[in-house]
Amino acid sequence: MIEGGLTHPWYQFGATYEWWCGGEKWQIWEKNSTECNNLERDEAIYQYCNKINTDLVCGAAAQFCLEEMIDMIKQSGLNPLDVRSSCDARNGSVACYPEVAWMTKYLSYPDVRREL
């Protein structure tokens, strides 16, 4: 089972501005909005980290950008895992799919836990 799907944060950050602010089909914010300005800054951080390739600096930067990006999406009322759909994730949960609750319940069964 895969939940979330974040495989390479810096690669995904690179596409985020274009998708959410670039006027494409799934544009969420206006180009001059605070959110888009923050995403542009995160893209600049990504470019810099790509050059210096230091885990200490870039790991912290990736964490900052990821948390900020997730917070922005949660505040928007959109699904953090698929911004094409809505989801009220402001309560701290990213479980916008009923299947997540099913997985949690299934994985909590004692016989399943023993097998895992």
**Tens digit of pLDDT for each residue in 48-99?**
887 887 777 788 888 888 888 888 887 888 877 777 788 765 555 556 777 7
- CA dist 71 and 114 (Å) reads 36
Q: The pTM is what?
A: 0.64
Domain ranges across the chain = 9-76
- CA dist 96 and 115 (Å) reads 27
Structure-block tokens of residue 49: 């980290």
pLDDT category, 9, cuts 50, 70, 90?
Answer: low
How high is the pLDDT of residue 110? 94
pLDDT of 1 above 70: no
